[in-house]
Structure 1
Amino acid sequence: MDILMRYVFKHRASGNIETKVFLTSQLEARAAKKLSPCFDELQYELISRDLCFDKEKGVFVGDLINVTTWFGNYIASVKFGEYEQDGSGDEYEPSKCFGFYAEAVIKTITDEDGFEVVPDYLVQNSMLELESYKRLGNIYENPELLKTEEAH
């Protein structure tokens, strides 16, 4: 199975951010330095290597997404690993899960009527469970996205 990977590099001299996306088959077929000059460690620093969750939307681990639920919209960070999920609305103990998940950046957002937009049981949610989301960007190329969300 071919896995899509995103590499984020920082140019040491200029500080510019470079993003490169490769399939694992490409990485296995050629030496990394032949795929891109960004793999030259003297010129570039590797700051992130991320798995792809959704090829169609270009969503990778480390991206920020706008999640739409019937509670309202909120910003989440895409992550991969172990998390707890409770789809019961606190009726049962959360289940330990492993995989791609969205974690709310700000966990205490309320709508104009004072109701929670992100109830406790949706703070960490499987990406597969999300009905609607849109990629906003990643924190390396768009650090202002995180600052804007933290200001709320």
Structure 2
Amino acid sequence: MDIVIRYVFKHRATGIIETKVFSISQLEEQPAQKLSPCFDTTEYELIARNLCFDEEKGVFVGDLINVTTWFGSYIASVKLGEYEQDGSGDEYAPSKCFGFYAEATDPDRTNEKGYVIVPDYLVQNSLIRLDSYKLIGNIYQNPDQLKTEGE
């Protein structure tokens, strides 16, 4: 398994955002400047470098996903780092974990009956434990998605 990284660049003159995806083996084979003109720091600014969680679905750290649970659907941001995982429904203290996780962007959102869609113990949830999620997009090319989708 090769590690895959998404690079997000902003063209200095036009402000256009470009994304490039490379594996570690591609980056080791030749200098980055030969892989893409975006690595020219006089023309482009590197604004993000994200690890891939799910290569098949194209899900990277920094992406927004729509998570479906039996409570309802909610929007979450994909993150990598330390988080607290509690799958017990608040019966036990949460465990400190490290890895890829989904963090609800609007944890106080309610459904049509007034019930909270994301209980406290699911605000941060391991991506591996999620039964169903769908990629919405990334916040670099669609920064307004976070506001629109999280409402």
TM-score w.r.t. length of structure 1: 0.97
Q: Note if 1:68 corresponds to 2:51.
A: no
Aligned to 1:130: 130
Do the aligned partners of 1:63 and 1:137 also contact (CA within 8 Å) in 2?
A: yes
Q: Which residue of 1 aligns with 2:103?
A: 103
- Matched residue, 1:30: 30
| Count of residue pairs the alignment pairs up | 151
> Which letter does structure 2 place at the counterpart of 1:23?
S
Q: Is the 8 A contact 1:106 1:149 kept in 2?
A: no
Instruction: Give % identity.
Output: 74
Aligned to 2:114: 114
TM-fit CA distance, 1:144: 1.8
Q: 2-side partners of 1:80 and 1:27: how far apart? A: 22
Q: Residues 141-152 of structure 1: matches in 2 within 5 Å?
A: 141-150=141-150, 152=151
**2:93 — aligned with what?**
93
- Distance in 2 between residues matched to 1:149 and 1:95, nearest whole Å: 29
Q: TM-score, length-normalised on structure 2?
A: 0.98
Q: Do the aligned residues in 2 keep the contact of 1:101 with 1:125 (CA within 8 Å)?
A: yes
Q: Specify the code of the residue in structure 2 equivalent to 1:82.
A: E
Q: Deviations over 1:29-87 (max 9, x none)?
A: 11010100000001000000000000110000000000000000000000001000110
* 8 Å Cα contact 1:60-1:78 kept in structure 2: yes
The Cα offsets for residues 91-111 of structure 1, whole Å up to 9 and x where unpaired, read as 010000000000000110100
| CA–CA separation in structure 1 for the residues paired with 2:114 and 2:90 | 20
User: Superposition RMSD on alpha carbons, in Å?
Assistant: 0.7
Equivalent residue letter for 1:99: G
Unaligned residue ranges in structure 2 (runs of 5+): none
Equivalence for 1:80: 80
Letter in 2 for 1:79: K
Q: Distance in 1 between matches of 2:139 and 2:58?
A: 15
Runs of 5+ unmatched residues, structure 1: none
Q: Which runs of 4+ in 1 moved over 6 A?
A: none
* Per-residue deviation, 1:149: 3.0
